Amino acid sequence: MSSKEKIKELPDLEGKSAQEILHWANATFGKRVALASSFGLEDVVLIDIFLKINPKARIFTLDTGRLPQETYEVWERIEKRYAIRIKPYFPQAKDVERMVNTYGPNLFYESVELRKLCCRIRKVLPLNRALKGLSAWICGLRREQAVTRQQIKKIEVDVANKGIIKINPLADWTEKQVWGYIKENDLPYNSLHDRGYPSIGCTPCTRPIKPGEDIRAGRWWWESPESKECGLHCRL
């Protein structure tokens, strides 16, 4: 089936709550759906909702090898709280060795192209492996996060990832709603959020933001807002 045909067949989930959408995803796809987590605020909300629906839900993360220690700490806290394992996908060692040997360890500051090469090797290619065999994946994207995310739908055909279904249950949530759910349910979250980091990625590519700055301003801060995606969430 072509991507256009698939889009026509998608159910309309826009008016549904995150709980309703995850119930639907679990019933529809079973083991062929997985939640991608980078342990951001939205991810801890989705993990909680999804595991309440299915305690054996599949969750994976992409470990780029450049993550802050605080991310590993919240990863571990989540595993302990729910008595689960979150499956890690790492970049291929030979790809990283070749890249660093050619361009050096901090190539991402040199140009957008080299930054995207690093993201491709450390994130996109591992994501391709993580999505193999799945029919759908679930992400914590929200429309108000970035100019690149304003058009996302709660359910989409992910053309960049071989036409797999992509589900964004929190697409219409505000940051206030996310924090409200976290506090109400006493969820673990990355301690960097309390130190001025609203959005957290790899250590060398993330910094705290100043009051009034855009919430993604601390990600790849040396680039223009239009190029600030790592390739995991491209919309063609």
Which residue numbers are catalytic?
230
User: How many CA atoms are closer than 13 Å to the CA of 87, on its beta-carbon side?
Assistant: 14
User: Residue with the closest Cβ to ligand SF4?
Assistant: 202
82 touches 51 (CB < 8 A): yes
Site for ligand SF4 in 81-140 (CB under 6 A): 108, 115, 118-119, 122-123
- State the binding string over 205-224 for ligand SF4 (x if CB under 6 A, else -): x-------------------
Q: What is the CA radius of gyration of the chain?
A: 17
Backbone angles phi, psi at 137, to 5 degrees: -135, 155
DSSP secondary structure, 119-154, as one string: HIIIIIHHHHHHHTT-SEEE----GGG-GGGTT--S
CB closer to ligand SF4 out of 49 and 64: 64
CB closer to ligand SF4 out of 18 and 119: 119
- Rounded CA gap, 46 and 94, in Å? 33
CB closer to ligand SF4 out of 36 and 205: 205
Q: Which helix (H) or strand (E) holds 89?
A: strand 87-89
CB closer to ligand SF4 out of 23 and 193: 193
| Binds ligand SF4 (CB under 6 A): choice among 77, 204, 207, 214 | 204
172 conformational bin, left if phi > 0, alpha if psi -120 to 50, beta if neither: alpha
CB of 96 to ligand SF4, least distance (A): 10
Q: Does 157 bind ligand SF4 (CB under 6 A)?
A: no
CB of 131 to ligand SF4, least distance (A): 17
Q: Does 153 bind ligand SF4 (CB under 6 A)?
A: no
Bridge partners, residue 157, by sequence: 165
| Binds ligand SF4 (CB under 6 A): choice among 38, 64, 161, 199 | 64
Question: Under the rule (CB under 6 A), what is the footprint of ligand SF4?
Answer: 64, 66, 108, 115, 118-119, 122-123, 201-202, 204-205, 230
